[in-house]
């Protein structure tokens, strides 16, 4: 088992390295000049050159990458061009906020998805099944910024139950564990929960319906096990696949929330990316991309390590 974990960790290293290259190079492929964002359009040539060398933009790209990677390894992601603050600090506080949002969304989506999927699988062809498949199609295909807008109109403008934007009372961006802050989390989290809900429902339904047809489930019944005991067996058999799918979904939630975070002005990584792109803030953009990609890599690594712990047929 230890050897397996070490092997997985080793595999993750080249992936992480390529991720750094991609995060770094991608930004250079995009059109536009970052200096436009800070220097006035009519700035004299000397000012531009000075700015360029201050941000290291005058060196060849591979050198820039090497320097950037070296600093990144030490936890220094540079300074944001727009705000002048350390990128690492900005990204970390955004990551914290996104973790909250994605965590709640994933919790709601995965839990409900498992329950609904299992019910639909057990009653395949029945009304719960039809309800669940309709819901999962909606969940997967509905544009979620649109859903976010609808939820805002209904729950904050008409009903006034939850705030429409921000992360805390009085525009505060620092999270606190109380109802006042939690209220801000509800609408964006619900909006984001819809996609994993749809996908997990569909996955679990298919797995459970298929499992119920399997000979070993018939055999479990033939042994006189109760419905609950049989369900435990089904749950343990479906867990590895559900875990893999859920891990992927959480990964997407961590990075794929640009639209929702922008709609709700939630100060997370998606919002930060959006800001960085519009302000052509290259260090901020690179830093955020890098951290998001690394989170994705780590999540996949976790799933890879957890799966064989549940399923004795895999790995080892």
Partner 1 sequence: MSAPLLSLEDLSVQFHGNRKASALNQVNLELGAGEVLALLGESGSGKSVTLRTLLRLHPASRTKIQGSIRVEGQDVLAMKGRDLELYRGGTVSMVFQEPGLAFDPVYTIGQQITESILAHGEKDVGKAKAQALEMLEKVQIPQAKRRFDAYPHELSGGMRQRAMIALALACKPRLLLADEPTTALDATVQIQILLLLRELQRETGMSVIFVTHDIGAAVEVADRVAVMYAGRIVEEGPVSRIVNNPCHPYTVGLLASTVGPEHRGKPLQAIPGAPPDLANLPGGCSFAPRCSRASAQCSSQVPPLVSGSGGRLACWNPVSQLENQ
Q: Catalog residues that contact partner 1 under the rule CB under 8 A.
A: 214-216, 218-226, 229, 233, 236-237, 310-313
Q: Which is nearer to partner 1, 51 or 225 (CB)?
A: 225
The pair of three-digit structure tokens given for residue 251, joined into one six-digit string: 């990964």
Nearest to 300 by CA among 250, 230, 234, 257: 250
Q: Which is nearer to partner 1, 161 or 216 (CB)?
A: 216
Q: Which is nearer to partner 1, 50 or 230 (CB)?
A: 230
Rounded to a whole number of angstroms, the minimum distance from the CB of residue 162 to partner 1 is: 42
Q: Which is nearer to partner 1, 85 or 236 (CB)?
A: 236
- Residue 31: CA count within 13 A, CB half-sphere: 0
Rounded to a whole number of angstroms, the minimum distance from the CB of residue 296 to partner 1 is: 28
Q: Which is nearer to partner 1, 16 or 239 (CB)?
A: 239
Rounded to a whole number of angstroms, the minimum distance from the CB of residue 214 to partner 1 is: 7
In angstroms, rounded to a whole number, what is the distance separating the alpha carbons of residues 11 and 15?
A: 7
Rounded to a whole number of angstroms, the minimum distance from the CB of residue 235 to partner 1 is: 10
Contact assessment for residue 268 and residue 254, using Cβ atoms and an 8 Å cutoff: no
In angstroms, rounded to a whole number, what is the distance separating the alpha carbons of residues 304 and 164?
A: 38
Ramachandran angles phi, psi of 196, nearest 5°: -60, -35
Rounded to a whole number of angstroms, the minimum distance from the CB of residue 213 to partner 1 is: 9
Q: Which is nearer to partner 1, 14 or 312 (CB)?
A: 312
The pair of three-digit structure tokens given for residue 283, joined into one six-digit string: 């260090």
In angstroms, rounded to a whole number, what is the distance separating the alpha carbons of residues 129 and 198?
A: 13
In angstroms, rounded to a whole number, what is the distance separating the alpha carbons of residues 108 and 194?
A: 9
Nearest to 80 by CA among 261, 286, 255: 286
**In a 3-state reduction of DSSP, which class is residue 82?**
coil
Q: Which is nearer to partner 1, 5 or 239 (CB)?
A: 239
Q: Which is nearer to partner 1, 64 or 237 (CB)?
A: 237
- Residue 59: CA count within 13 A, CB half-sphere: 12
Rounded to a whole number of angstroms, the minimum distance from the CB of residue 239 to partner 1 is: 9
3-state helix/strand/coil string of 251-298? HHHHHCCHHHHHHCCCCCHHHHHHHHHHCCCHHHHHHHHHHHHHHHHH
In angstroms, rounded to a whole number, what is the distance separating the alpha carbons of residues 245 and 282?
A: 32
Count other C-beta atoms under 10 Å from residue 53's C-beta. 11
Beta bridge pairs of residue 86: 79
Rounded to a whole number of angstroms, the minimum distance from the CB of residue 116 to partner 1 is: 20
Rounded to a whole number of angstroms, the minimum distance from the CB of residue 236 to partner 1 is: 5
């Amino acid at each position: 088992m230890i050897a397996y974990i070490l092997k997985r960790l080793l595999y993750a290293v080249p992936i992480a390295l390529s991720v750094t290259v991609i995060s770094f190079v991608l930004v250079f492929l995009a059109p536009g000049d970052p200096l436009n964002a800070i220097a006035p359009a009519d700035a004299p040539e000397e000012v531009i050159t000075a700015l360029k060398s201050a941000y290291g933009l005058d060196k060849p790209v591979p050198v820039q990458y090497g320097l950037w990677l070296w600093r990144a390894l030490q936890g220094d992601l540079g300074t944001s061009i727009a705000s002048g603050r350390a990128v690492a600090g900005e990204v970390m506080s955004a990551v914290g906020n996104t973790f909250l949002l994605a965590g709640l969304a994933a919790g709601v989506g995965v839990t409900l998805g498992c329950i609904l999927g299992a019910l639909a699988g057990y009653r395949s062809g029945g009304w719960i099944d039809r309800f669940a498949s309709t819901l999962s199609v909606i969940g997967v295909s509905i544009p979620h910024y649109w859903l976010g807008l609808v939820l805002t109109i209904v729950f904050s403008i008409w009903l006034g139950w939850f705030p429409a934007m921000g992360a805390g009372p009085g525009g505060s961006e620092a999270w606190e564990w109380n109802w006042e802050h939690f209220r801000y989390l509800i609408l964006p989290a619900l909006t984001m929960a819809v996609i994993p809900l749809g996908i997990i429902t569909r996955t679990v339904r298919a797995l459970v319906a298929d499992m119920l047809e399997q000979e070993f489930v018939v055999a479990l019944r033939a042994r006189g096990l109760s419905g609950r005991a049989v369900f435990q067996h089904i749950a343990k058999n479906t867990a590895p696949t559900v875990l893999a799918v859920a891990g992927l979904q959480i990964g997407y939630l961590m990075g794929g929330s640009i639209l929702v975070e922008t709609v709700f002005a939630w100060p997370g990584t998606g919002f930060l990316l959006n800001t960085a792109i519009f302000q052509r803030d290259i260090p901020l953009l690179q830093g955020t991309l890098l951290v998001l990609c690394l989170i994705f890599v780590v999540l996949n690594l976790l799933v890879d390590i957890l799966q064989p712990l549940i399923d004795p047929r895999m790995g080892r």
